[in-house]
Amino acid sequence: MTVTPALGDVRVVDLSRVLAGPYCTMMLADLGADVVKIERPGEGDETRTWGPPYAGGEAAYFLAVNRSKRSVAVDLKQPDGRALVLELCARADVVLENFRPGAAARLGLDSAAVRERNPGVVYCSISGFGRREPRDRPGYDFVVQAESGLMAITGEPDGPPTKVGVALVDVVTGLHAALAIVAALRRRDATGVGERIEVSLLDSAFSALVNVAQNALVTGEEPARYGNAHPSIVPYQPFLAADGWVAVAAANDGLFVRLCDTLGRPELAADERFATNAARVRNREELLPLLEDVFATRSAEHWVTALDAAAVPAGKIRGVLEALRAAAPATVRVQHPAAGDLELVAPPFAFESASLRPAAPPPLLGRHTREVLSELGIEAARIAELEKRGVIQSSP
């Protein structure tokens, strides 16, 4: 029996660039969708140049979020280019864009224009700040981390506000967009009715603040920074062992008892200052030095092994490359036309009965221009003429 990907019959026209939109469409491509990535001739998605590092002339940043897509290079400043892309959108199941607000309408590629040609399309727009004024404000992850409060709660208590080490708001926004698109496709398949979706970085950041945002709403107070500690759970933080760091998540009283037994300090769990999580939160400044002294006596590997045996959640703090190697298989290999044998992070999900699309290399700029335009029924002579005029660009 042939097993097909879950989204194997879905065509996506991806007008987005940088991270949130491309991350969304990469997830859809992993699930089987045919993702056609529209890029500017000559330049392409700006992340193609966001390096070093590079592999085969392609920035690692671009390679990270564009596997399994087809690249079509079209100049949207030219009427013929816009007409080509509109025709692609007219035949798509999903259109995704993250232009600055108003730009899609000026190009004649907004939801109204596309849905006039394709009423059943799921059209998703990603913006920085949604419908808040000013509407044309550009949205960047770093700025939204600042504006959302995420930076204010990140960092050491006596240090400055700090951004998260990856563009997490972009990633979460991409996931939110993918979820909304799949939901809209399910409804479209049942009713024939398309959908207009809006996802903003700011609202995604608020959603990702979860308990911290709710704490602020309940108390009416600004949350404090706790560094690597937790505002509501103790101990839930890293401890320095003799040769490295160990992250410990004793998230309830039972786990704390097992932690203390493993550390050889069972009396701490019986101490009324530390017997309950609420008490430990109140008395963290007294408890933590006692735990730190014990962790410093043995290696990180010793403590992780011992805590694992006691079913206490714990892990060694690893570097990124170390973690990818320790958790193998966490990557896939593809043959890239410029970089050769290329290792990528693997898709994060697996299905029991459906399949994922086999990973394909992130495309060279314009790699599929001729192929995709031929699928529209455009003859080779016309494609060559468009390329000569700079409306499109193709690569071998």
**What is the DSSP track for 180-240?**
HHHHHHHHHHHH---EEEEEEHHHHHHHHTHHHHHHHHHH-SPPPP-TTS-SS-SSEEEEE
Q: How far apart are CA 214 and CA 232, in angstroms?
A: 12
Would residue 170 show up in a list of annotated catalytic residues for this protein?
A: yes
User: Considering only CA atoms, which of 285, 264, 292, 263 is closest in space to residue 274?
Assistant: 285
For residue 78, how many other CB atoms are within 10 A of its CB? 16
Q: How far apart are CA 240 and CA 52, in angstroms?
A: 33
Q: Are 109 and 38 in contact (CB under 8 A)?
A: no
Cα-to-chain-centroid distance, residue 72: 23
User: Considering only CA atoms, which of 361, 330, 328, 324 is closest in space to residue 347?
Assistant: 330
Compute the CA torsion angle 18, 21, 25, 30 (nearest 10 deg).
70
Q: Are 118 and 90 in contact (CB under 8 A)?
A: yes
170, 189, 261, 341: the active-site residue: 170
Return the structure tokens found at 315.
Answer: 């892990």
The amino acid at residue 18 is V
Cα angle for residues 289, 290, 291 (degrees, 5° grid): 90
Q: Could you tell me the CA-to-CA distances from 302 to 94, 306, 307, 320 in Å, in that order?
A: 51, 6, 9, 21
Q: How far apart are CA 355 and CA 365, in angstroms?
A: 28
DSSP E strands in the chain: the ranges are: 11-14, 34-39, 54-55, 58-59, 69-74, 94-97, 122-127, 195-200, 236-240, 245-249, 314-316, 331-336, 340-345, 392-393
Active site residues: 170
